[in-house]
């Protein structure tokens, strides 16, 4: 994901999630490690690429916040 896209994502999720780092990127999405400010926990934030979100529709699984995102609690070992 480009720097400007990450900045737009951070702005859109400001006050709710704080993105720490990118965990990985695939053909359909990028996954970030983020802090859920409200619930004080780590989450995995999956952001669909715009062309994928347009085809499958954002909001198909998990808690969604537009931008083709899906939020899940992060698992720790």
pLDDT tens digits, the chain, 77 residues: what are they?
Answer: 677 878 888 888 889 999 999 999 999 889 999 999 999 999 988 888 888 877 776 554 444 445 555 666 666 55
Q: pTM of this prediction?
A: 0.69
30-51 pLDDT tens trace: 999 999 999 999 998 888 888 8
In angstroms, rounded to a whole number, what is the distance separating the alpha carbons of residues 60 and 57? 7
């Amino acid at each position: 994901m480009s720097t400007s896209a990450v900045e737009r994502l951070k702005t859109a999720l400001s006050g709710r999630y704080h993105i720490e780092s990118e965990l990985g990127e695939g053909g359909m999405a990028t996954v970030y490690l983020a802090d859920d400010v409200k619930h004080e926990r780590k989450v995995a934030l999956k952001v669909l690429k715009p062309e994928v979100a347009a085809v499958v529709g954002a909001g198909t699984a998990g808690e969604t916040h537009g931008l083709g995102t899906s939020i899940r609690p992060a698992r720790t070992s």
